[in-house]
Structure 1
Amino acid sequence: MRVLGRASSINVRKVLWALDELEESYDREDWGLPIRDPKVPEFLALNPNGQVPVIIEHDGFTLWESNAILLYLARTRSSLMPTDDHAYGQALQWLIWQATELNPPWGYALNALARKTPGYDDPAKIGESIERWTRKMEMLEEQLSPTTAFVAGDSLSLADIVLGLSIHRWFRTPMPHKAFPKIEAYYTRLRQRPAGARWMPDKIV
């Protein structure tokens, strides 16, 4: 399998972490700014959105959109999603929530504080972004179970991979952090896994 995307991308790391958990071999190629512009005909022929990641299977099958790739891997490799219907629903719930609810609030704060992106310097907007992000983390703290190791039971699922990467971004962004004991314990468990440690290093936000 080929994986096209720079490892600094959180969406690329979702896929790489899943592949490592599956012990699947792959070749990764750097795509995505500032390394390699994906808005070129060669890449747009694979993904018309010009975004990473993209995977190319051994038989030439091509797929884009990180969560679609994750669900495809879980289905074709018969792993990383629970077989119990209720647990499967919970894992899918958190997988979707991470993308639609947890991720959007961090945009301004991340660009201002971690990436130092020009134009992201409005203190009010930074504060609002942090406040909204914190509220979502509060929700996760309340929902995490103290009796199970992972969000959908006792086994790692795709939901844990995407949540782990978002939590990693929370802790690595230089800003005030409210104490979340359950999230901290959960994050520690995920980083104790070899693939979790590899794709949530201190140097990557």
Structure 2
Amino acid sequence: MSRLPLLCACVLCCAVLSGCAHRGANPALWSLPPTAEGARLAASVAPSDVPLLMWHSVRLSVPCRRLDETFNGALRLEPGNSSLRAVGMGGFGLKAFDLKVTPDSAETHYLNPGLGRMRGMSERIAFCLRRIWLTCRPGAGDSFRAADGTAYLYGREGDVLLEHGFRDGWLVSTKAAGPSESWEITYDGYLPERGVPSSITFTDGRGNYTLWIRLVSQWQEHR
């Protein structure tokens, strides 16, 4: 039997039981003026205007439970990053979840019975997907700063402060801090012909877990 249901249950427990102080930040950085260079960088990661289909290999590490597992996932990202549909598959092709996620809601099409017994599991999965692909993106009006070969854009989404780092024109990191969330995403191994990273790491400071997401394949769906 796949250990994925047990694994996800432990992730939720860690997210609920553990906590951390969100990162301190210098408020002055969010008061710097926007620039044309910052707007150009933000435009470079603008959402696609056609549906994207992706297949990922995912590794999930939960140090507080000494758990380290891998599984596969299929994801369809709608034009403009307006919504996504994600299906997670455990060992032997066992479906773990099937979710449709928008920037402010989630619809559960399927949840493994083992996961369904854990209150809030769909919301927790949706949170990760939403932060990685749908929300908290760089904006043309973000504050701009350049230092040590890295360009930074400082923005806000609600009460969450965002810091986006760009190196050589590529988005390499997004850090977030707010009253109820603290997380970081790093992007690596960009494929120039596609303009997308081959690997994404999502670290949830409150949940004390890390997701490593490796892009196996991606293609556009032409209508």
TM-score for both structures, normalised by structure 1 = 0.29
- Higher percent of residues as helix: 1
- Higher percent of residues as strand: 2
- The higher relative CO (CA closer than 8 Å, separation ≥ 6) is in 2
TM-score for both structures, normalised by structure 2 = 0.28
